[in-house]
Amino acid sequence: MNRFLSFILIFLLTGVYFNASAQSVQVEARLDRVSIPIGDQTLLHISVRMPLKTDITFPELKDSIGKVQIVKSLKADTAVDKKDPNQETITHSYAITSFDAGVYVLPQFTFHTKTGDFKTGTVTLQVKAVPVDTTKTFYDIKQPLAVSYTFWDWLKDHWIAVMITLAAVLLTAGLVYYYKKRPVKEASIVNTVPILSADTIAINKLNELRAKKLWQQNEVKLYYSELTDVLREYLEKRYQVKAHEQTTDEIFDGLKNKEIPQDNRNTLKQLLTLADLVKFAKQKPTAFENEQSMDNAINFIVQTKHQPKPIDKEDLPK
């Protein structure tokens, strides 16, 4: 018996709770204007007043409600009740219109919650036709008015294109004038210096050294120093040995695999050795030895200079 009474009490309390929740949710549909001219627009507002954070689903409106067309949906508006902060009102607004005169009853809109569905009341929209005065006569459609369009009107409409075209023409004319009137540079004559062979350079330097007459002025050491410098430079270019950085013995070690006749090797050895004695041992050669050293240097260069290979008859074009 007690269990039965408890069950009834729980059932009654649950019913009271759901009834209170249902009463706290209030839905409404209203129009800004209930009467509009044909083709004009008004706003349809669908709103719900409910406790905060209530899970509710608004009705989905399609493109039209019968002959009433929905033009666009506005942004939803949410407002909290100032008197009761636990209550809020959410309003969805839609711009609607109709192009058929008449009276249209918009149906109820259903909201869905966990406690049940809530429906708004119906709203009535009157669409009025535009009154036509049938007492007046009808007139033909007027022809389009002729509007004068002068050159200055065209210029105002196209002045940017005209300015660009004019600038391009002036630039082209300026470039043509410049290229026609600019001074023509005379072709500069480049004096090409012929490339001399290593033996020609060496012999020219030896002739210049002989013309200085250094040993005749007791500048024997300077004479042999410049003489061997010319020979060392010739050996570097002719046989690719670093003669300027090497001693006499190191030079001959570098030349041992080069194709130099033995007589020329002996002449070069004698000349470089005599020059070392003059520069480092202060030896004083005779006038004959000084002149002979110059002749030996020239003869060595002449006899060891690069000889171009003869062209074989078989290599000639037929």
What is the Cα–Cα distance from 277 to 286, expressed in whole angstroms? 13
At 82, give phi and psi (nearest 5°). Answer: -65, -35
Cβ 41 vs Cβ 71: under 8 Å:
yes
pTM over 0.75: no
What is the Cα–Cα distance from 52 to 25, expressed in whole angstroms? 11
Predicted confidence pLDDT, tens digits, the chain (318 residues): 455 555 454 444 444 344 444 458 999 999 999 999 999 999 999 999 999 888 999 999 888 998 999 999 999 999 998 888 899 999 999 999 999 999 999 999 999 999 899 999 999 999 998 877 677 776 677 777 777 778 888 888 888 998 999 999 999 998 888 888 887 766 666 666 678 888 999 899 999 999 999 989 999 899 999 999 999 998 888 888 888 888 888 888 888 888 888 898 899 889 889 888 988 888 889 999 989 999 998 999 998 888 777 665 565 555
Cβ 40 vs Cβ 97: under 8 Å:
yes
Residue spans of the domains in the chain: they are 24-128, 198-304
Any idea how long the chain is? 318
Fold classification of 24-128 (topology level): Immunoglobulin-like (2.60.40)
Helix and strand counts by DSSP (H, E) for the chain: 8, 12
